[in-house]
Chains A and B, each alone.
Chain A
């Protein structure tokens, strides 16, 4: 299965980027999980935790504040004016 190419970006720098199996984020409509092969999407993030599951099963979590999530051909971008790894 193809992997997701994820980057978490805040206004002043790229917070994290790498490959992942799954991304779980909270949008204004509720939590959403993204797996490889997801259709292109643009969603508004509600402030909160973003969980990225790495291929090894490890997890990276980040806090993102007012931003958005874009998915296009297995490239996932979490963009927030403020984002920090937790």
Chain B
């Protein structure tokens, strides 16, 4: 076998092996999307109930609360970045990090100092490589986020929010994550968590006039208990969205990797055939040439 042919055969082998791996990863991701999506759906009643309760409080009372009032001057803003722990997901992590960079740029141009809370090994790696500081980090459970993680993050950001800016507290909290739009699209989203804004999905108040809500024990206490829970549920939702989006992104990336491997295999097979044919042609012409020479020598 000619050297050329052997090289092609090797390349075909290697592309085939890669394809097997990427194909397997694609299938795994596909099955995980289903699960992750189911979790997003399963958590919807909770976030909807909380959103409804928060909007009820907002509509039926006019209390001032620390978490809802806009500070006069915002000195420091926190950015929570949700990435994945593993790569091989196409632009999934880079697009969310790019979005976070743009947001930081914007915040800095408004004269705010930016501190970071990072979730996922990819964000931590990105920051470590650039030797940039971050306030707090969580890694290892972004694939299948538990509610505890959301609770932890909420606690940390609320604690920072309630601290005075002079003690290193923050006055504003943003969260950047990948939203699961569809199997094919995941778009980076920036949401300002605190101070509270009107959020998507707030229930329209009923057309009928509702009697005033009764709050037990009183509005302030209810709000005190409700708002942290609301933040938790927003973060939990973002985590679940991000994990579903990650699996979708992985599936897409692995699908195109498998397709590319297919293309490579076809190309190399053509080249290998070509090389084999060239070899055969050469051998024939050598034989013919040799036979001719023998006849001529007689």
The interface of chain A, by Cβ under 8 A from chain B, is 7, 9-14, 27-29, 32, 39-44, 66-68, 70, 72-73, 77, 79, 81-82
Chain B residues touching A, majority SS: helix
Chain B proximity of A44: nearest CB distance (Å): 5
Q: How far is the CA of A66 from the CA of B147 in the complex (A)?
A: 14
Chain B residues near A29 (CB, 8 Å)? 216-217
A42 touches B56 (CB 8 A): yes
The interface of chain B, by Cβ under 8 A from chain A, is 39, 42-43, 45-46, 49-50, 52-53, 56-57, 60, 147, 150-151, 206, 210-217, 221-222, 225-226, 229, 232-233, 236
Q: Given A14-B46, A29-B217, A79-B46, list of 20 further CB < 8 A pairs? A: A7-B45, A7-B49, A9-B49, A11-B46, A11-B147, A12-B43, A27-B216, A39-B214, A40-B212, A42-B53, A42-B216, A42-B226, A44-B222, A68-B229, A72-B210, A72-B213, A73-B210, A77-B52, A79-B50, A81-B232
A12 touches B210 (CB 8 A): no
- Of A13, A44, A82, which contacts B43 at CB under 8 A? A13
- Of B39, B53, B147, B211, which contacts A68 at CB under 8 A? B53
B217 touches A40 (CB 8 A): no
Would you list 11 pairs from A and B whose C-beta atoms are within 8 A, ordered by A residue?
A9-B46, A11-B150, A13-B46, A40-B56, A42-B215, A43-B222, A67-B229, A72-B213, A73-B206, A77-B52, A79-B50
Name the residue of chain A whose CB is nearest to the CB of B56.
A42
Chain B residues near A39 (CB, 8 Å)? 211, 214
7 closest A-B pairs by beta carbon, nearest first, are: A43-B216, A13-B42, A11-B147, A41-B214, A14-B45, A79-B49, A40-B213
- Of B39, B147, B151, B213, which contacts A42 at CB under 8 A? B213
A41 touches B213 (CB 8 A): yes
* Of listed A7, A29, A32, A79, residue having the most chain B CB within 10 A: A79
Chain B proximity of A79: nearest CB distance (Å): 5
- Of B206, B221, B233, which contacts A11 at CB under 8 A? B233
Q: How far is the CA of A40 from the CA of B206 in the complex (A)?
A: 13
Q: How far is the CA of A70 from the CA of B50 in the complex (A)?
A: 9
Q: How far is the CA of A66 from the CA of B49 in the complex (A)?
A: 15
Chain B proximity of A8: nearest CB distance (Å): 10
Q: How far is the CA of A3 from the CA of B149 in the complex (A)?
A: 38
B229 touches A81 (CB 8 A): yes
- Given A12-B147, A42-B57, A79-B53, A68 and B45 touching (CB < 8 A)? no
Q: How far is the CA of A26 from the CA of B215 in the complex (A)?
A: 14
Chain B residues near A7 (CB, 8 Å)? 45, 49
Q: How far is the CA of A11 from the CA of B40 in the complex (A)?
A: 11
Name the residue of chain B whose CB is nearest to the CB of A67.
B229
- Given A10-B46, A79-B50, A44 and B214 touching (CB < 8 A)? no
* Of listed A41, A70, A82, residue having the most chain B CB within 10 A: A70
Chain B proximity of A57: nearest CB distance (Å): 27
Q: How far is the CA of A12 from the CA of B56 in the complex (A)?
A: 22
A40 touches B222 (CB 8 A): no
A12 touches B49 (CB 8 A): no
Chain A residues near B46 (CB, 8 Å)? 9-14, 79
Q: How far is the CA of A43 from the CA of B215 in the complex (A)?
A: 6
A11 touches B216 (CB 8 A): no
